[in-house]
Structure 1
Amino acid sequence: MTKLYQVSTWQEFLALVESEELRGWAFRGQRDAEWSLESSLTRRLKQFVPQSKWHERESRAIRVFKRKAHYFLNDTSALKDDFRCLALMQHHGAPTRLLDFTKSPYVASYFALQSCTTPAAVYAVNTPALWHKATPPGLPELTRDAIDPRTTDSLGKYYLSNNYPIVWPGEPWSMDRRIVAQAGTFMLPGRIDVSVEELLNNYEYDQPLLAKIVLSPEIRKETMEALYRMNISSATLFPDLDGLARSISYELEVSWVGTPDPKNDQLMQDK
């Protein structure tokens, strides 16, 4: 069962994510607390494709990407590694079964709150347990090492087949700048017809593997200012020109020159 928390201040959030209880967990921010813990691929397929065609369409999407992406890449080695290829697709906006997570609860809170107007959520997954102790229901032999998608044929067997009620936490051996900048990791589900929350809650383990921290929208201003001072912004999380451009949306909201004063209008405009 997912463990539920509600926080109404930045300090409450800090106390929770820095507690021993959540030490070493991975985090994901979602700007709407009502959203399910589902991949972009699941959401897209649900909207437009009959479920009987999901396996066929996912396999075709990967194949099409592999056949055409080489035009835009200086290094095409990622296209020879299915898991790295999925990560590359995710990086550039394609719907995939990967869910973006981060080892930093602060980065997760940024993604949860940057554009929220209603309660947001930060999900936390007990990755230490998934690494060493928790196993899928009735399948104790499917340890994390046994289902590692970085090994030959494992991605097709355990994930693209959509037959196994598993979730694998981790990253490709070779990580891109964005994963490094965000302290990123992924949750890779073996089924996309059910939520990751349902998969994790069915695992065999004596403690919850998943926590959901609901964030009141009233803490957004305080949190975003604190994160800015921590140098967490779109400009640092997406270390390219696109990231800098995204960061301007927050720059529109704030001024760092103190209390507004008509005499300082010009100064404030120049910041």
Structure 2
Amino acid sequence: MTKAYEVTSWQEFLTLVESESLRGWAFRGQADADWNLESSLTRRLKQFVTNRPWAEQEDRAIRVFRRKAHYFLNDTSVLKDDFRCLALMQHHGAPTRLLDFTKSPYVASYFALHSCTAPAAVWAVNTPALWHEATPPEAPQLTREAIDPRDSNNLHRYFLSNEYPVVWPGEPWSMDRRIVAQAGTFMLPGRIDESVETLLNNYDYDGDILAKIIIPPEIRREAMEALYRMNITHATLFPDLDGLARSISYELEVSWVGTSGPPQKT
């Protein structure tokens, strides 16, 4: 079962994510604590595609992207690498089965709190367990190494087939600057008709494999000011013009005028 935490202060959140119990885990921030842990592809298909096989629609979407993306790329080798191609689609806003995670709980909390108006959530996945011990139900041979999507044909066999109840944590061998800036990683589920929470909670493992930290909106101001002082903003997490432009939304909230310390809400 998912281990649930409810923090009541920013300091309580920091103490929790810096504790030994979550050391080495990967994190994902979501602006609404009620949202399921599922990919943009799953959400899109659930909303608009009810009468066609999802796996076939996903395969078609990847094929269309590959056929047309070369017009916009200086180096088209990325399109020949299955996992890098999927990450490129994710990077530019296409619905994919990838879920963005980060090795930094602070980055995750930024994404959770940036636009939240209700309780937000930071999900945490025990990646050390997925690397070394935890295995999918009734399939101990499907280790992280055995299903590595960076190896030839593994993405199609274990993931795009939509048959295996697995979740693979990791990144492409070649990472783009956004992944680097965000200390990013991915969770890649083998099924898109089940949430990642459901898949992980079915894994065979004696300890905790998934946690959900609920953060109340009342601590958003303090948290966002602390993250601003850490230089965690859209401008640094998305090191391009789009990121800079998105960062302005929080600049509207703070001002250094008349202060000698951290930014104050105007």
TM-score when scaled to structure 1?
0.95
Tell me, yes or no, if structure 1 residue 73 matches structure 2 residue 73. Answer: yes
In 2 relative to 1, CA 51–20 (structure 1 residues): closer, same or farther, beyond 3 Å? farther
In structure 2, C-alpha distance between the alignment counterparts of 1:17 and 1:138, rounded to whole Å = 32
Shift of 1:183: 0.2
Displaced runs of 4 or more, over 2 A: none
In structure 1, C-alpha distance between the alignment counterparts of 2:182 and 2:142, rounded to whole Å = 29
Letter in 2 for 1:168: W
Which residues of structure 2 form unaligned runs of 5+?
A: none
RMSD value, Cα: 1.2
In structure 1, C-alpha distance between the alignment counterparts of 2:56 and 2:199, rounded to whole Å = 22
Letter in 1 for 2:70: H
Answer yes or no: is the 8 Å Cα contact 1:101–1:186 preserved in 2.
Answer: yes
Q: Which residue of 1 aligns with 2:85?
A: 85
Shift of 1:208: 1.7
* Percent identity (aligned): 81
CA deviation vs aligned residue, 1:58-79 (integer Å, no higher than 9, x gap): 0000000001001011111110
Shift of 1:51: 5.9
Answer yes or no: is the 8 Å Cα contact 1:45–1:51 preserved in 2.
Answer: no
Q: Which residue of 1 aligns with 2:201?
A: 201
Q: Which residue of 1 aligns with 2:216?
A: 216
Where 2:187 maps in the other structure, the secondary structure is strand
Q: Which residue of 2 aligns with 1:125?
A: 125
Where 1:88 maps in the other structure, the secondary structure is helix
In structure 1, C-alpha distance between the alignment counterparts of 2:258 and 2:115, rounded to whole Å = 24
Q: Which has more radius of gyration?
A: 1
Letter in 1 for 2:119: P
Answer yes or no: is the 8 Å Cα contact 1:201–1:208 preserved in 2.
Answer: no
Letter in 2 for 1:255: S
Which residues of structure 1 form unaligned runs of 5+?
A: 260-267
Tell me, yes or no, if structure 1 residue 190 matches structure 2 residue 190. Answer: yes
In 2 relative to 1, CA 181–21 (structure 1 residues): closer, same or farther, beyond 3 Å? same
- Which moves more between the two structures, 52-61 or 217-226? 52-61
Q: Which residue of 2 aligns with 1:176?
A: 176
Letter in 2 for 1:201: N
Where 2:186 maps in the other structure, the secondary structure is strand
Q: Which residue of 1 aligns with 2:144?
A: 144
CA deviation vs aligned residue, 1:190-248 (integer Å, no higher than 9, x gap): 00000000000000000121000000000100000000000000000000000000000
Q: Which residue of 1 aligns with 2:109?
A: 109
In structure 2, C-alpha distance between the alignment counterparts of 1:216 and 1:81, rounded to whole Å = 41
Tell me, yes or no, if structure 1 residue 230 matches structure 2 residue 234. Answer: no
CA deviation vs aligned residue, 1:50-106 (integer Å, no higher than 9, x gap): 264211110000000001001011111110001000000000000000000000000
Where 1:137 maps in the other structure, the secondary structure is coil
In structure 2, C-alpha distance between the alignment counterparts of 1:258 and 1:3, rounded to whole Å = 44
TM-score when scaled to structure 2?
0.96
In structure 2, C-alpha distance between the alignment counterparts of 1:258 and 1:36, rounded to whole Å = 43
